[in-house]
Amino acid sequence: MLTTARDLFRYNREFRVGTLLTGFIVAFAALSLVSPYPPQDTFVVPPDVSPSLAHWFGTTSRGQDVFWQLTFAIRNTMLFGFAVAILSRLISITIGMWSGYKGGFVDRVLMSINDTFIVIPLFPLLVLFYFVMRDKMSWPLLALAMACLGWSYDARLIRSVAMSLKSREFTQQSVFSGMRTSEIVLQEHLPYVLPIVFYTTMNNMNWSIGLEVTLSVLGFTNIDTPTIGVMIYWANQHTAMVAGIWWWIFFPVLFVVILFIGLFLLAISMNEYIDPRSRLARMGRMSG
Amino acid sequence: MNAYAVYAGKRLLQFALVVFIGINLAFVITHSTPIDPVEQTVATATAFGSTSPEAVEMMRQSLRELYGLEGSAWGQYVVFWKRIVVGDFGPSLSAFPTPVSVLINRALPWTIGLLTISTLLAWILGNVLGGLAGYYRDSRILRIAGIVTMGIHPIPYYIVAFVFLIVFGYLWPVLPISGGSQMNVQWGWNPTFILSVLRHSILPITSLVLVGIGGWFMGMRSLVSNIVTEDYVAYAELAGVNRRRILGAYVMRNALVPQVTGLAMSLGSIFNGAIITEQVFGYPGIGTLLISAVHTGDYSLVIGIASVSIIAVSVCVLLIDLLYPLLDPRVKAS
């Protein structure tokens, strides 16, 4: 596992840059542990101070230090994305594997439901969800709702991997040599499934973080928990751009964009494992 | 033709399933809430000034009827469906007494226009550029285009639109950043109005296209770079067929098929993006209407928009699915 990561880091440019970007954001989020100010407190520092040595990223109109506030915000945003990704993995792996291995009628029924969830526009439903929950809305609840809605695309990808694995020759050979199904799945197929699970996890984190930012900016989440979206929401409430407090918006946007690109690069670095032809193309380019 | 009928029948069934599950989700969400929307509206209505208890009771009764929250759960479910089938969601509370359907009908053309143009632009540009990038692998310009589109692709619609708003609203104010057209221009088919609409649509369309292009670009590039290794392409090259013709008629034509399926699959998320982009630029479409309905607590309008969005998106997907066999003769044959 570790050697794989090391080799990926050494030979795969997307993986290297993605790891560095995401690692930078994780390290930044870890700073929230040593923050001198609790995240919810306002007016702990003089408001509207531009970036300086004392306050690297300036301060907000609510008297919060943007740097330390951002550490909490990016931490919560990442935790949220991670929670949705893990929860929806449970659904998408189960459905995808089941559908792919079983095939036939089960596959047809599951994939019809799956395609339905791909097509339905989720944003209006999530807005509706906020609308009926109002103050009861919390981030675990939102994470759960999003996990229940956002598994379908990944389930389809995992299914296609499971389907192709089932029909490979080495699977038949394992069956004939008397391996149990659980052994085949865990020992023979898992190495093929893991890259696509990793790929979909990163993509799903990007998707859920994007939706969380969007919903929070509109004020459709719990606006007391600092996340990137909530920070932009408060900045908009105080018309920060008009007032010239650009640093209140610039830094959250910059950091979340770094996170998006980092996670995306990590996701597409798996391409050569999912589609071996792209690895051949890369090797061809290296030698030629 | 018979094969096509079977195919169309399957797609219609899938369409029915999408609408059924979507509307059921909307029903479950609205009816699983711990908060009573009637009490909420009553509370806002009676917050200022004193209202007699009888009047409050009457208000409660009529709101219950208006929101379709009377009777048993099954009865409410039937009412919910009946309203969607008839297309009547009652009057809007925030724009009383205008019916919800009128508000939606007014906003829908804006959203459809924005969505159609930006989706087609992103799809065509992404596919053409991606196809070129997959075929001419050594072109430096195409490689840079790839890096730029892929860099923007993972960023959510909201952030890109928001950055556009800041850049063109505060730093370099050359384009209108809000509304669908200029306020003082008369509506209709006159050149000033059309020009004004076009000018106002530049920013929302550009931001939607910029985010959308990356996915098509990457998909097309990897499809094309796989197809060019096929024997028939090598044969065409050896036979001296014009390279541009090979790319257009031999390679891209084949690669287009999965890209069309992809378009149908991603319409839902593109719609989400359009909604949020509209809100950023104050574009008078469904998205802006939805957000303002939430802020004003307009229960019927929110449900109406959610239901109409689900149905509208599934109709578009159905249309793409039904037109798809024209591109791929294999679907017709099997």
List all residues of chain A from 109 to 148 with a beta carbon under 8 Å from chain B. 112-113, 115-125, 127-134, 136
pLDDT band of residue A71 (cuts 50, 70, 90) is very high
Residue A7 lies in a domain: no
Verdict on whether the full-model pTM lies above 0.90: no
For residue A101, give the CATH number of its domain: 1.10.3720.10
Q: Quick: pLDDT tens for A101-146.
A: 888 899 999 999 998 888 888 889 999 888 888 777 788 888 999 9
Q: Which residue has the higher pLDDT, A191 or B281?
A: B281
User: What is the predicted pLDDT for the residue at A288?
Assistant: 36
CA distances from B202 to B117, B189, B198, B206 (A): 11, 19, 6, 6
CA B96 distance to own-chain centroid: 27
Please report residues of B whose CB lies closer than 8 A to that of A134: 35, 40
CA distances from A231 to A80, A249, B126, B284 (A): 15, 8, 33, 26
> Does residue B164 surpass a pLDDT of 80?
yes
User: What is the predicted pLDDT for the residue at B38?
Assistant: 77
The mean pLDDT value for B78-91 works out to: 84
Q: Which domain holds residue A260?
A: 13-31+57-287
Which residues 6+ apart lie within 8 Å of A26 measured at CB?
Answer: A78
Closest-CA residue of chain B to A267: B154
User: What is the predicted pLDDT for the residue at A280?
Assistant: 56
Residue A8 lies in a domain: no
User: What is the predicted pLDDT for the residue at A56?
Assistant: 81
Residue A81 lies in a domain: yes
User: What angle is formed at CA B235 by the lines to CA B230 and CA B238, rounded to 5 degrees?
Assistant: 130
Closest-CA residue of chain B to A288: B138
B97 cis-preceded (ω within 30 degrees of 0): yes
Q: Say if the Cβ atoms of A120 and B35 lie within 8 Å.
A: no
Specify the number of domains making up chain A.
Answer: 1
Residue A131 lies in a domain: yes
Residue A196 lies in a domain: yes
Q: Say if the Cβ atoms of A133 and B33 lie within 8 Å.
A: yes
> Does residue A259 surpass a pLDDT of 90?
yes
Residue A50 lies in a domain: no
The mean pLDDT value for A146-152 works out to: 90
Task: Compute the nearest-CA separation of A161 from chain B (Å).
Answer: 17
User: What is the predicted pLDDT for the residue at A281?
Assistant: 57
pLDDT band of residue A279 (cuts 50, 70, 90) is low
Global ipTM: 0.85
Residue A217 one-letter amino acid = V
Q: Residue A79 is encoded by which pair of tokens?
A: 């935790």
Residue A186 lies in a domain: yes
> Does residue A287 surpass a pLDDT of 80?
no
A30 touching B (Cβ < 8 Å): no
Tell me which of A113, A119, A133, A216 to substitute to probe the interface with B (most B C-beta atoms closer than 10 Å).
A119
User: What is the predicted pLDDT for the residue at B96?
Assistant: 73
Residue B262 one-letter amino acid = G
Quick one: angle between helices A247-268 and A190-217, nearest 10?
A: 160
Residue A21 lies in a domain: yes
Task: Compute the nearest-CA separation of B106 from chain A (Å).
Answer: 18
Residue B70's SS3 state is coil
Q: What number of CA atoms fall less than 13 Å from residue A57's CA on the CB side? A: 19
